[in-house]
Amino acid sequence: MEESNQEFLLDPKIIENYALLQDIGVLQHIDRLTKEIKEYQSLLFGAAEIFNCTTTDEIMDATVWQISDLYLPSFVAFIWKPLQNRNDVIVKGYQNYKFVDMNLNIENIIPMESFFQMNREPVAYEDLREALNKEPEAKLILKSLDKLIPELVIPILGPQGLYGIILVGAKILTGKYTASELLFLRQLMSFVSQAIQNHIHYEHSVRDVKTGLFNHGFFTTRLSEEVARVRRTGYTSSLIVSDVDKFKNFNDSYGHLAGDKVLEYIAQTIKQSVRTDDVPSRFGGEEFTILLPNTDGEIAWRVAERVRTSIAGMAVPWDPPLPQVTVSLGVTSFNKENIADPDTIIRRADEALYQSKENGRNRITVWEGGSAILNLT
């Protein structure tokens, strides 16, 4: 584009009539068009980068990188609702392209939703503050946001409502955000919203809504893939199956909401106890599975023990207080020597789990081959 401009400006006829073209604004118009083309090129490049992201965190990072590159804001912060059926939010802040703790105490963004459904474009923080300052629930959010002194608030909207907001600080080097910059941000956010929407749809297809763990269908697909990989490579992988002890008592004595809360806390504990490459899943009801790729039996037992003790030690907030939650676990490992189809591998882990239940619960049993079961807890 710059080379084409140079060729155009060096044309003898342009040089001859340069003063006239300058006076009637042709050259200025060309400059504006050139700038707009560069902005659209940047927008398309940014959109392609955002759509190539595979996680919400990657989408956030790519968005922040682009905003920071273009405008050098003092900070950028995402306030994000990870699950559309929950009020919980995550705050992720950036300064100089690096993650920083913004120290924001925000429990939900629902009080902002109706405003942004009516005003779907980037808005000055002062205008947002004026619009929401009379709403009691919104005041609590604004009180926390006031610490940052953001200049812009950008909504991330989709068919399921307000996914989150982006706070953008004042530009470090220049003045206020211009109308064209606000238009660019609005267009960029339309791509961000679509990318997040696509990611949410994918997550809903592979995640259990109640616990956030992978669902049964995703687990069985991954287990089949892992069995094929073990056949091909020869390494050892493992499977843990766990079941909540006397779970019916929680539902019968304290109600199904208490039972749901127990399942949510167990899921959180399992997620904190495994590696990024592991596959923690809700198999069904109160039964959970953890697929451990490239993991032998000894390490699998350590993981199972970490899960067992962490769950036994967790406190589930409820009124009246709930009894101690425990789980029983079964572990099996598979390699080229004892490889089987996925259903057989699940059955082996289930047999070990059954022995844990029979031998007193809150324990781990390892399937050792044939009918031999080794109880280790």
Nearest to 185 by CA among 155, 142, 163: 155
Cα 228 from Cα 362, distance rounded (Å): 32
Half-sphere exposure of 203 (CA within 13 A, CB side): 17
Element spanning 111, H or E: helix 110-118
The tokens for 371 are 């009918």
First to last CA, the chain: 71
Look at residue 374 and give its three-state secondary structure: strand
Helix, strand, coil percentages (3-state) for the chain, rounded to 5, are 50, 20, 30
Distance CA 374, CA 377 (A): 9
Contact present, 180 and 122 (Cβ < 8 Å) = no
**Which residues are annotated as catalytic?**
286
CB 82 within 8 A of CB 88: yes
Per DSSP, the residues of 131-176 read HHTTSHHHHHHHHHHTTT--SEEEEEEETTEEEEEEEEPPBSSS-S
Q: How many helices (H) and strands (E) in the chain?
A: 14, 12
- Cβ neighbors of 255 (< 8 A, separation 6 or more) are none
Nearest residue to 71 via CA among 188, 155, 193: 188
Q: What is the DSSP letter of 305?
A: H
Give whole-number Cα distances, 318 to 253, 259, 335, in Å: 13, 10, 43
